[in-house]
Amino acid sequence: MLFRQFVDDDLGCASYLIGDESSGEALVVDPAYAVEQYLEAAEDEGMRIVSVLETHTHADHVSGHGRLALDHGVQVSIHPAAQPQFDFVPLDDGDEIAVGSVGIRVIHTPGHRPEHCAFAVSDCERADEPWLTLTGDSLFVGDAARPDLAVEAAEGARELYRSLQRLLELPDGVEVHPGHVAGSLCGAGMTSKPSSTIGYERRFNRAFAHQDEDQFVSESIRAGVRPPNMERIVELNRGAFLGSPDPIQPMNGEKSGVTLDVRSAEDFASGHAKGALSVPVEGGGFATKAAFVLPEGERVIVHARDDRQVECAVRGLRSVGIFELSGYLVGPPAQERLAVVALDELERLLGGEEVQVLDVREPHERDQGYIPGSRNIPYRLVREWADDLQGGKPVVTICSSGSRAVVAASVLTALGIDARPVIHGGVEDWTGRGGDTVSFRRCGS
């Protein structure tokens, strides 16, 4: 039996290649849009991909099932509750799927979405009992999925609770391979560990610490950050098969669209195209950050340091449904520069009350400690508050490390606001050097 996990470190998404060496057939579970990785792995093993199994309709990344279906004749299977608009093989609770000597049992596990299914996998040459289970977006390592992205949160939480109890019926030794690891917006408490076991999760997963269904529901319906482009991504994944994209071309001539500068924050500050937005591709969460801050409906020009950065950026943008790419630039245009602020300079500026400090972290991060007098607007929302910031004091953006601060400052600068980021360090470093901070404790926390 061939079993291989693929993790998109940028999005925290996991997908799987399962095959039988004797039959030479394989299937992919929850494929990313970048399907080359599965095709290359299958070819290396002398196998042919014949099927795709989707645990559900994904809301945070574009699936590659359309590319595999259109370009390679692969059939796609999903639960009918997904209401797909493409030709599919329906999955139902208890269905048995065979790939050579590999057996896969479908377990309908609604909650995250109504169609959600998990897959219990057996190596039938060894035993009929399941060896592992692919839990998709139901059970994670250390956490459970959020129930508020497809249905009313309390309804989803009740279904999810019952689905998790079904997964607990599996033996303790069964491995758990989830659809997400840390870095995804689909669960707050998951770890970066790529797998676990039913027994370990039974003992230590916080989702199983609740006494009953009502307590689980109460703890599960707290609102979190919704994935960017969510509605668009769901429609892409539910709609007619999406094929392979045209290659992105170098820009030669008039530029049409917003420039997304994917170079480092230092490179961006030293010189960038007029009105460009900065989202470094080599920083964590590139695709998610880009999807949050790019203006909806505008075409995108990728500005990178080299061809490798172009390739990484384009792959990330397409993974979150951004396909309107005008072309790319490689090189260091210096039409504009971005002034940056060091922490010692920030102390001086605050002493003279010369700036407005904008803490662009998420509220739960800010609550742990923030600079007195600073204002909290998460980086993903600064565009919405731009009018409120116009005409006031110069803005200094700060986060935990500098990555989100430069993103926010680039958005504000493109809108005509005098904004400067702290790019080397953040609030924790400010505290470590003796700077004043206060914390905030929310009711019930």
pLDDT digits (tens, 9 = 90+) for 365-400: 999 999 999 999 999 999 999 999 987 889 999 999
Is the distance from CB of 270 to CB of 334 less than 8 angstroms? yes
Query: Tens of pLDDT along 145-204?
Result: 989 988 899 999 999 999 999 999 999 999 999 999 876 555 556 677 899 999 999 999
Average pLDDT value for residue range 296-315:
95
pLDDT of amino acid 256: 80
pLDDT band at residue 352 using 50, 70 and 90 as cut-offs:
confident
Lowest mean pLDDT among 111-125, 130-144, 325-339, 363-377: 325-339
**Res. 106: pLDDT tops 60:** yes
Cα 311 to Cα 308: distance, rounded to the nearest angstrom: 5
pLDDT of amino acid 187: 53
pLDDT of amino acid 223: 66
Average pLDDT value for residue range 348-368:
90
CA-to-CA separations, 93 to 78, 112, 140, 160, 171, in angstroms, rounded: 11, 16, 20, 15, 19
pLDDT of amino acid 288: 94
- Average pLDDT of the chain, as a whole number: 92
Cα 178 to Cα 357: distance, rounded to the nearest angstrom: 39
Which residue do the tokens 């892409």 mark?
236
Cα 33 to Cα 35: distance, rounded to the nearest angstrom: 6
pLDDT of amino acid 382: 96
Average pLDDT value for residue range 32-54:
97
Is the distance from CB of 25 to CB of 1 less than 8 angstroms? no
Cα 24 to Cα 18: distance, rounded to the nearest angstrom: 11
How does DSSP assign 295-309, residue by residue?
Answer: PTT--EEEEESSHHH
Q: Which pair of structure tokens corresponds to residue 13? A: 């998404």
Query: Tens of pLDDT along 44-62?
Result: 999 999 999 999 999 999 9
**Res. 347: pLDDT tops 90:** no
Q: pTM score, two decimals?
A: 0.92
Q: Which pair of structure tokens corresponds to residue 106? A: 């479908």
Of the chain, the percentage scoring pLDDT greater than 90 comes to 79
**Res. 444: pLDDT tops 50:** no
Is the distance from CB of 4 to CB of 45 less than 8 angstroms? no
Average pLDDT value for residue range 245-258:
86
pLDDT of amino acid 184: 55
Which residue do the tokens 């820009």 mark?
251
pLDDT of amino acid 442: 54
Helix (H) / strand (E) containing 354: none
Domains of the chain: 2-233 (3.60.15.10), 247-330 (3.40.250.10), 343-432 (3.40.250.10)
Tell which wins on pLDDT, 283 or 282.
Answer: 282
Average pLDDT value for residue range 282-307:
94
